[in-house]
Structure 1
C-alpha cells in the first residue's frame, strides 16, 4: 500500500504533467472543448483513430503524411480511414476481433491503424522482420481474424488459413497480386466516408516485443493515458505544424509514439519504406525537417557517409534527432553531435515500460552514452539480486521503472517482476555523480567467465572507438576451462589490418584482463532486427573455425 506522501507526490506529478501538455501545445486551454473532445474520443476509439478524427477537424488541409506516392492531408487521412473501416466491417470483422498489420512505413499502415480504431477492431502490429514460423505462431496466439499486408510479404501468408481475409496495404512495382485480392485503395474508393457510429469500447492494440530471446511477446495497450504523451514531450522539443522524418519503424513503440504526438501537433510525417542513409539526409533537406526519429544503427550509417556525400544535403533545419531502440555508444553520440550539431536526444525505455529516461544534447556532451534522466511521472531505481534498493552513485544494479503509463501484462499471461510499484526493465545499470543513468547491458547478457562478471557492452563501446572498427558485438560462448569465454564479432572498416591479436592487446591495455575476448571474428555485418537491437543469440549459435 502506497504511503500518503507517495500518493500526494504522484498527484503533484499529474498536475505538473498537465502543465507540460499545455506548454508543449498538446492541450490548448483557449480551445478547451477541442481538448476535451479528443480525450473523450481516445476513450472510445483509441489513439490512432482519435488522431485521424481530430486531425481531420483541426488540420484538414495540412499534410499529414508524405511517402513515395506523395502527400495525404489530415482531412484525407480521416475520410479514407473511415471508408476503410466500413470495408473491414463488411468483411465480417466484428468489434473486439483482432486484425494483424504487416506493413512498412507508408500511408497504408497509417490508414489501417486509424481504420481499425474507428471500427472497434483490435490491432496487432506485426514485425516486418518475421520469419514464417514466428508470423504463424503470433497470429495464432493473438487470435488474428484478418491480415492487412504489403505485397512483399505474400510469401508469409501461406502459414495462415486460406479463408482468412487479406487486404493489400501496398503493392510494389512488378509484384504479382493474387487474383481477386483486395487492396485498401479499391476498398476506400468504393465506400462512403460518412462517419461510422462509435464502437462500444476501444478495442486497443498490441505492440510486439523485439523477440531477441525467442518468440515476440504481445504487450497490449487497451488505453493510452495522456501521461504517456507528457513523458515523451517533457524532455523532447516536438515541432508544431512542422515536419518530422520517421525512419524508426512505426510498428514499434518509438515510431508509433512519435508519429501520434507529431500528428497531434499538426506536423507532416515523412516516411520511408526502407531505410537508406543518404536518402534519409535527402528527405531531411528536401522537407526542411525539424525532427528526425531513428535507431542508433541508422544514425551510425548516416555519420559513416563520407563528408562529400553529407555536404550535398542541408540538414541545418534539424532541431532534434530522437534515438531509441538499442544502445547508443559514447563514440556515436559524440560523432553525431559533431556532425549534426547539439540536437541529439537518447530515449531509454521498452515496449513494456514505455519511457524511462531521456538524455538531452547537453547531457550527451557531458556524459556521452548516458540515457539521461526520467521525464515527468516516471522514476528509475536500482535493486540488487536480493531485491534490496541500491542508492548512491556508480553502484550497479537491476533497473526498475515506475511509469505513469503502466504495463498491463503480456497477452500470454506473463508479467514483469514488480517491486514496490517499480517494474523490471531487464537491464543492469548505474547512476553517475550527477544522477544520470547509464545502461550497462541486459541482465541476461552478463557473461560469467572464470568467476568474473562481464557486461559485453563495456567491451563493445571500447572497440567501436577505434577508427578501424565500424561495429562490434561481444558474447559469451561455452569454454571447458572458464565456463564461458568472450568472443568478439567485429565489422572492420575498409582497408583495416584485421589483426585479432592487436585488437586483443588494445582491450587488455584499457580494461581488466578477464574482459579481453579470447576470440576475434571478423564479419561483414552484425545480425540486428528492424529496431536495431543486436541478435546476440544468432552470434552465440554461429559456427566458426577457431
Structure 2
C-alpha cells in the first residue's frame, strides 16, 4: 500500500468533499486525485528519479507529493530559506533530480539542474492526460527530507511508503472527520509535520486550509473565516499567536484542537495559551523526521489535568511530551546499553512500523531488533509520561559531570524578566566546558546576571549554576523554532 492509495480511497468514497483550500484555490478530493494523476504524466516526461521542490508549499505540497508517488518517484521538499549554495549542495545529493520551484526562487538554481517553475508545472498539468500509476512497494522511498542540521551536516532521511502509511493508519480513522472539520496548515513544506499533515488530514477527510506565509494575525483571521477546527503550529508561531490574541482578543469559536511541536516549548508559554484559550484542546506532539512524525503526544486531557493540579508530579507533566502513540514502543537506555527504569535519564530508543531510521547515504540506523536511537536524552515517570531533555550532542560536560541544557532552561524561563533562554557549553581549560546561559529579556526587563544565577542555584544543584550569563536580542532558530546552538557558540567565540 503506497501513499497514493490514501488519496484514491478518499476520492472514491467521498469525491465531492472539499479537501483543499489555498488562497483562491478550492479543490475536492476527486479534483486533487485527478490533478495528481495528471501531475504523474508531467513528471514522468522528465525522466527524473527524484522531484525536488523549493517553495512555500500550500497546494503544491500535496499535489507534487502524490504526483511524484504515482510516478514512482521520490519527493524531496527543500528549505527555501537556505542560501543558494546550501540549496545546490542538497540538490547535488539527490539522484537524477528535477527541481520544481516557485517562480521567486527560480534564479537561485541557475542552469545546473533541470528546472520547472510551478506556473509552468500547473499549465502542463492542466493540459495533460492522467497516467496510470507506477507500482510501488512498501519499502520504496516516498519522501526524502533533510534534517535541520542544527549541530551537524543535514542528513537525508528516507521515508518509505510503508512508514508513512503505517503512521497515518495507526493514528487516524478513515474519513472520521465531520463535514465541517477543517485543519489550518502553516508549517513549512520541508518539515515532517507538513508531509504528515497532508497525508493524515486527507485520509481523515478533513478540509486542509493552507497558509503558506505565516502571519499571526492572518492565522487568527483564517481560523475565524474558514471555521478552523484544528491546527498545528511550531513554538515560534504559538508565541506570536498568543501575543497577538493578548494584544487584541478575538473569538475563535470553532477551534477545538491546537497541536504544537517541532521544538521544545517553554512551560510559561503553554500556561499562557491554556488560560487564553480555555475551550481549546492542546496537544504537544513529539516526533522526529526519522519516525514519520509523532511518536508521543500529551493530550488535551493531560494538559488540563497537569495545569490544574496541586500535585507536583502531575503538574510536572505539563513539561512532558505525553505517552507513545499506538504502534510505537519506546525505551530508555544507558550508555552501556542497559534498559533504564522510571526517573532514570538516558538515550531514547523507539521502534515501530512508522520508524524509518534510514538515510540515503549511509543506509539503515536501526539495530538488529529494529530499535532507532533518537540521540535525545530522556526519561519516563512512573505512569509512562515521556520527558525529552534535549539532544545528546548538546550535553554539557563540566568537570566530568553531564548537564542537560534543558534542565537550566526550564528554570530560567520561569523568571519574570526572561522571555527566552538557551544554555550551551563553552570550552574552558580548567573545567573542560563551562555553562553559558544566553538570555532574551522579556519586554521592558533587563535582569541582573547575578540575580539569574541565584535564581537557578536556589532551584537546582550548585553545579548547575551558569558560569556566565549573556544577553541576545533574539536566539538563532530554525523555521520550526529549534535553537541553532552552533550559531550561539560561534557568536560567543567572536565576542
What TM-score results when the alignment is normalised by the length of structure 2? 0.90
- Asked if structure 2 preserves the Cα contact closer than 8 Å seen for 1:353 and 1:425, the reply is no
Pick one of 99, 102, 121 that aligns with 2:73.
121
Going from structure 1 to structure 2, the CA distance change for 1:495 and 1:71 (only over 3 Å counts) comes to same
Going from structure 1 to structure 2, the CA distance change for 1:492 and 1:322 (only over 3 Å counts) comes to same
Pick one of 190, 194, 199 that aligns with 1:260.
199
Stretch moving more, 480-489 or 494-503: 494-503
- Asked if structure 2 preserves the Cα contact closer than 8 Å seen for 1:93 and 1:121, the reply is no
Pick one of 79, 90, 93 that aligns with 2:47.
93
SS in 2 for 1:389: coil
What is the aligned partner in structure 1 of residue 115 from structure 2? 166
Between the aligned partners of 2:291 and 2:128, the Cα distance in structure 1 is 39
Between the aligned partners of 2:494 and 2:295, the Cα distance in structure 1 is 41
Between the aligned partners of 2:145 and 2:117, the Cα distance in structure 1 is 21
What is the aligned partner in structure 2 of residue 323 from structure 1? 260
What is the CA-CA distance between 1:154 and the residue it aligns to?
Answer: 2.7
SS in 1 for 2:402: strand
What is the aligned partner in structure 1 of residue 132 from structure 2? 197
What is the aligned partner in structure 2 of residue 24 from structure 1? none
**CA displacement 1:469-490 (0-9 Å, x = unmatched):** 2221111111122211111222
What is the aligned partner in structure 2 of residue 247 from structure 1? 186
What is the CA-CA distance between 1:53 and the residue it aligns to?
Answer: 3.1
What is the CA-CA distance between 1:263 and the residue it aligns to?
Answer: 1.0
What is the aligned partner in structure 2 of residue 448 from structure 1? 397
Between the aligned partners of 1:154 and 1:434, the Cα distance in structure 2 is 52
**CA displacement 1:305-331 (0-9 Å, x = unmatched):** 35241x23x223222112221113332
What is the CA-CA distance between 1:356 and the residue it aligns to?
Answer: 2.4
Pick one of 376, 381, 385 that aligns with 2:331.
381
What is the aligned partner in structure 2 of residue 53 from structure 1? 8
Between the aligned partners of 2:447 and 2:96, the Cα distance in structure 1 is 48
- Aligned pairs for 1:29-108 (under 5 A) are 43=1, 46-47=2-3, 49-90=4-45, 92-93=46-47, 97-108=49-60
What is the aligned partner in structure 1 of residue 161 from structure 2? 223
- Asked if structure 1 preserves the Cα contact closer than 8 Å seen for 2:357 and 2:365, the reply is no
Pick one of 256, 271, 291 that aligns with 1:353.
291
Pick one of 295, 299, 303 that aligns with 1:364.
303
Going from structure 1 to structure 2, the CA distance change for 1:419 and 1:145 (only over 3 Å counts) comes to closer
- Asked if structure 1 preserves the Cα contact closer than 8 Å seen for 2:159 and 2:358, the reply is no
Runs of at least 5 residues in structure 2 that lack an aligned partner in the other structure: 307-316
Between the aligned partners of 2:88 and 2:187, the Cα distance in structure 1 is 24
**CA displacement 1:55-93 (0-9 Å, x = unmatched):** 433333322222223422223222222333222223x32
What is the aligned partner in structure 1 of residue 348 from structure 2? 399
Going from structure 1 to structure 2, the CA distance change for 1:346 and 1:232 (only over 3 Å counts) comes to farther
Pick one of 87, 92, 95 that aligns with 1:143.
95
Between the aligned partners of 1:275 and 1:463, the Cα distance in structure 2 is 28
Going from structure 1 to structure 2, the CA distance change for 1:107 and 1:306 (only over 3 Å counts) comes to closer
- Aligned pairs for 1:138-537 (under 5 A) are 138-158=90-110, 161=112, 164-169=113-118, 183-192=120-129, 195-201=130-136, 204-224=142-162, 226-233=165-172, 239-241=177-179, 242-305=181-244, 307-309=246-248, 311-312=249-250, 314-341=251-278, 343-354=281-292, 355-365=294-304, 366=306, 367-391=317-341, 393-407=342-356, 409-416=358-365, 418=367, 420-537=369-486
- Asked if structure 2 preserves the Cα contact closer than 8 Å seen for 1:363 and 1:370, the reply is no
- Asked if structure 1 preserves the Cα contact closer than 8 Å seen for 2:176 and 2:205, the reply is no
What TM-score results when the alignment is normalised by the length of structure 1? 0.82
Between the aligned partners of 2:18 and 2:103, the Cα distance in structure 1 is 26
- Asked if structure 2 preserves the Cα contact closer than 8 Å seen for 1:445 and 1:455, the reply is yes
Between the aligned partners of 1:448 and 1:513, the Cα distance in structure 2 is 15
Between the aligned partners of 1:212 and 1:223, the Cα distance in structure 2 is 27
Between the aligned partners of 1:238 and 1:298, the Cα distance in structure 2 is 27
Between the aligned partners of 1:248 and 1:52, the Cα distance in structure 2 is 21
- Asked if structure 2 preserves the Cα contact closer than 8 Å seen for 1:87 and 1:187, the reply is yes
- Asked if structure 1 preserves the Cα contact closer than 8 Å seen for 2:22 and 2:211, the reply is yes
**CA displacement 1:354-389 (0-9 Å, x = unmatched):** 332111123234221111111221111111010011
SS in 1 for 2:162: coil
Between the aligned partners of 1:262 and 1:428, the Cα distance in structure 2 is 31
Between the aligned partners of 1:543 and 1:200, the Cα distance in structure 2 is 53
Between the aligned partners of 2:357 and 2:324, the Cα distance in structure 1 is 21
Between the aligned partners of 1:206 and 1:504, the Cα distance in structure 2 is 44
SS in 2 for 1:542: helix
What is the CA-CA distance between 1:468 and the residue it aligns to?
Answer: 2.3
SS in 1 for 2:337: coil
Going from structure 1 to structure 2, the CA distance change for 1:82 and 1:357 (only over 3 Å counts) comes to same
